[in-house]
Amino acid sequence: MAKIVILGAGYGGMRTAKQLAKVNNLDVEIVLVNKNPYHYQSTELHEVAAGTKEPDQITFDVRKAVDPKVKVIIDEVTKVDQDAKKVELKNGEPLTYDYLVNALGFESETFGIKGADENGWPILDINTAVAARKHLEDTLKNYKTSHDENDLRIVVCGAGFTSIEYLGELVYRMSEMAKEFDFPLDKVKIDCIEATPKILPMFDPKLADWGVKFLEDHGVTFHAGTPITEVKPNAVMSNDTAFPANTIIWTTGVHGSHVIADSGYDQKRNRVVVEDDLSVNGHPEEFLVGDVSAVPNPSNGRLYPTTAQISIAEADTAADNIVARINGKETKKFVFKSLGTLCSLGPKTGIAEVDMGGHWKLKGAKASVAKKLVADRSVTELTDVSGIMKE
């Protein structure tokens, strides 16, 4: 009996487990390792960080969500020994495997910027999202006694998708927090600092401008072409210019799991360029999916971005290719058909370019509905047991 070990119960790992478990007459043992007993929808972490959703609305129990034939181990992976085909764990005994799917996901990127780790609040898992929310609320509450204007100043670092979606939730909730924590709304200052010259460059310029104006109308000031060079305890620096704030949200990008570098893979920012069937060069028994994989888009040679959409699609190919290998058949190439690019601006609005039955450019409530439909679909794509849905 072949043993398949899947690392990480995020989008990539959950989907791989689901796809493998439903293959009939496959004589395999499937093991899924995750550091927490729960799965979290990473695509909604910014909502927990802004306080528009509670953690239990974006998490579910991994054991209840997978097919009972999948053995779930709750432990932290520390290293993969590719030659010995062995996974080392923080607490338990090492696991050997015949086939491996590594889906350990993303971590926050600081690019070595001084003070970013110490003074910025990242949004990368449930614990960091909850911590960012607590800091935000405590700081805003504190203004009532401190009268320190920096308590009402928030700097969001970077203007990628995570920053923009976080800002959307933040401005949506701000007036409610002003009432609850008794601070003057007109004194709140929100700055978003971006190194590149254009905000939301991946969208049609009219949609991007609409999204930027929406956030500006709700109190956000964008500083494009402004590289962050240092993060101090109460200010973000771009060379000599200081952006003071007592809440600094650190969302300047991601890299793959540190386990990749720790295991000696040939990697860049903890992402490994995989073969066209998603296996690892020289290790046909090993597949990388999701944010630890770097997959060139055959149409332009550039790497695909790291998204949940792609993680799920990669998981399908990796699962099929493991089955092909077990049955002595040829593996297939990974092919990705995007559903489009969708960005929320709070719970009720957004912008989107959707590729389903045509190419649709959407803004406002329609874009928000499209985004929720794609997100809700992803939950059903991950779980094996009916009834596991977000509240």
196 is an interface residue for ligand NAD by CB under 6 A? yes
Both tokens of residue 332?
């297939």
Catalytic residue (one of 44, 47, 109, 165): 165
> Out of 44, 88, 107, 194, which residue is the one contacting ligand NAD (CB under 6 A)?
194
User: Which residue spans within 228-270 are E strands per DSSP?
Assistant: 230-232, 235-238, 241-244, 247-250, 254-256
At position 181, the amino acid (one-letter code) is F
CB atoms within 10 A of CB 236: 29
> Out of 80, 104, 228, 259, which residue is the one contacting ligand NAD (CB under 6 A)?
228
> Out of 5, 6, 12, 214, which residue is the one contacting ligand FAD (CB under 6 A)?
12
390 is an interface residue for ligand FAD by CB under 6 A? no
C-alpha 142/C-alpha 151 separation (Å) is 7
10 is an interface residue for ligand FAD by CB under 6 A? yes
**Partner whose footprint covers residue 196, from ligand FAD, ligand NAD, none (CB < 5 to 8 Å by kind):** ligand NAD
C-alpha 323/C-alpha 245 separation (Å) is 53
Say whether 165 is catalytic.
yes
C-alpha 93/C-alpha 230 separation (Å) is 42
Only segment of 138-146, 240-248, 301-309, 345-353 that touches ligand FAD (CB under 6 A)? 301-309
Only segment of 38-46, 109-117, 209-217, 321-329 that touches ligand FAD (CB under 6 A)? 38-46
> Out of 29, 61, 76, 149, which residue is the one contacting ligand FAD (CB under 6 A)?
76
At position 114, the amino acid (one-letter code) is K
C-alpha 72/C-alpha 162 separation (Å) is 30
Only segment of 3-11, 24-32, 134-142, 171-179 that touches ligand FAD (CB under 6 A)? 3-11
Name the phi and psi angles at 311, rounded to 5.
-55, -45
105 is an interface residue for ligand FAD by CB under 6 A? yes
Which residues, in sequence order, are CB contacts of 337 under 8 Å at separation 6+? 313, 355
C-alpha 96/C-alpha 391 separation (Å) is 37
Are 33 and 82 within 8 A, CB to CB?
no
321 is an interface residue for ligand FAD by CB under 6 A? no
> Out of 60, 97, 99, 106, which residue is the one contacting ligand FAD (CB under 6 A)?
106
> How many residues sit close enough to ligand NAD to count as binding (CB under 6 A)?
24
Are 390 and 21 within 8 A, CB to CB?
no
Distance between alpha carbon 119 and the CA centroid of its chain, in Å? 21
Q: Is 158 helix (H, G, I), strand (E, B) or coil?
A: coil
- Residue 321 or 378 having the CB closest to ligand NAD: 378
At position 182, the amino acid (one-letter code) is D
Q: Which residue has the tokens 């905000």?
A: 199
Are 324 and 330 within 8 A, CB to CB?
yes
> Out of 77, 220, 236, 367, which residue is the one contacting ligand FAD (CB under 6 A)?
77
Are 49 and 123 within 8 A, CB to CB?
yes
Q: Quickly count helices (H) and strands (E) in the chain.
A: 10, 26
Are 103 and 12 within 8 A, CB to CB?
yes
- Residue 33 or 190 having the CB closest to ligand NAD: 190
- Residue 47 or 151 having the CB closest to ligand NAD: 47
Segment 158-187, which members bind ligand FAD (CB under 6 A)? Answer: 162, 165
- Residue 291 or 320 having the CB closest to ligand FAD: 291
- Smallest gap from Cβ 163 to ligand FAD, in A, equals 9
Which residues, in sequence order, are CB contacts of 325 under 8 Å at separation 6+? 99, 284, 285, 331
> Out of 31, 132, 308, 319, which residue is the one contacting ligand FAD (CB under 6 A)?
308
167 is an interface residue for ligand NAD by CB under 6 A? no
Segment 263-322, which members bind ligand NAD (CB under 6 A)? Answer: 305-307
110 is an interface residue for ligand NAD by CB under 6 A? no
Residue numbers at the binding site for ligand NAD (CB under 6 A): 111, 113, 158-163, 165, 193-196, 227-228, 251-254, 305-307, 342-343
Residue numbers at the binding site for ligand FAD (CB under 6 A): 8-13, 33-36, 39, 42-43, 45-46, 76-77, 103-106, 123, 162, 165, 257, 259, 290-291, 306-309, 311
Which amino acids are annotated catalytic? 165
